[in-house]
Structure 1
Amino acid sequence: MDVKNCPRCNRIFIPQGGRRICPVCVKEEEKQFDKVREYLRDNPGAPLLMVIQETGVDEDTILHFIKEGRIEASQMSGASLQCDSCGAPITSGRYCNKCQEDLARDLQRLTGGAKEKTPAREIKNRPKDKMFTADLKE
């Protein structure tokens, strides 16, 4: 059993489902996300600084929501993300479309090349596939 300290509140927790923070902080993050989502629904295109002021959610958390793809930078003015690989501007996630395609192609090449082709099974010397049953003695 792997036990970690939450990087936000320092509580001890058991990570589940790939979560990087404790369940208490996950609930708090969900509340913050709901605030930002509601504000952007009512005020589409609002500047990032206005979203921060009106919701009380810090910029890093809002940018984290954008990187997760939960909201898009295009929903608010002044919010910009850059591709982690090439630095091109993006609206959500971590990579631009070109870098995503390059990564997918590289991954496909690496995993495709790692698989060895299994030779076809020889069936010559095998008895024909039959089902055998045992007779019960009385």
Structure 2
Amino acid sequence: MDLLNCPNCGDIYVKHAIRDICDKCYREEEADYEKVYRFLRVRENRAATIERVAEVTGVKEELLYKWVRSGRLHTAQFPNLGYPCDKCGKIIRKGKLCEGCATGMIGELETFEMERNRQEALHKAVYLSRDKRK
């Protein structure tokens, strides 16, 4: 049993396997979720953005991002919902990085690997030339 401070309110609580906040904050989050879900169930609100949902319901954007990221609010049902890319902040609907950042990181890794291979080849050449001199 782990005792932690709730990241929202600072109260001490017993950590649950599925909850990362205290019971009081959990109940508040559930009430906020019901507000958001009631708003989004209305057909004309299904295309609302995170900013619009936050404005109308009064629920913090960070909490909305949490629900989208965890799959609690499904982007298939609500196409304009998303959360920020971990690197650049662009709104995405899945994963941790937007396509641009993922592609950039792959390029950086490939460049790093090529440079590492070049360095290893250079070191081998130096050691081989030393061995030939002996």
**Does TM-score exceed 0.5, indicating one fold?**
yes
Aligned to 1:16: 16
Query: Is the Cα–Cα contact under 8 Å of residues 66 and 93 in structure 1 kept in the other structure?
Result: no
Query: Is the Cα–Cα contact under 8 Å of residues 68 and 92 in structure 1 kept in the other structure?
Result: no
Q: How many residues are aligned here? A: 96
1:70 pairs with 2:72 = yes
Query: Is the Cα–Cα contact under 8 Å of residues 69 and 92 in structure 1 kept in the other structure?
Result: no
Larger-gyration structure (1/2): 1
Which protein has the bigger helix share? 2
CA deviation profile, 1:96-138 (whole Å, cap 9, x unmatched): 9xx9xxxxxxxxxxxxxxxxxxxxxxxxxxxxxxxxxxxxxxx
CA deviation profile, 1:42-98 (whole Å, cap 9, x unmatched): 111023222111100011100000011011345153x3336659x9975256589xx
Query: Is the Cα–Cα contact under 8 Å of residues 12 and 22 in structure 2 kept in the other structure?
Result: yes
CA distance in 2, matches of 1:69, 1:93: 11
1:36 pairs with 2:39 = no
TM-score normalised by structure 2 residue count: 0.58
TM-score normalised by structure 1 residue count: 0.56
Partner of 2:48: helix, strand, or coil? strand
**Misfit runs of 4+, over 2 Å:** 79-85, 87-96
Runs (5+) with no aligned partner, structure 1: 100-138
Aligned to 1:108: none
Per-residue deviation at 1:20? 1.1
Partner of 1:13: helix, strand, or coil? strand
Among all aligned residue pairs of Structure 1 and Structure 2, give the percentage whose two residues are the same amino acid. Answer: 35
Aligned to 2:60: 58
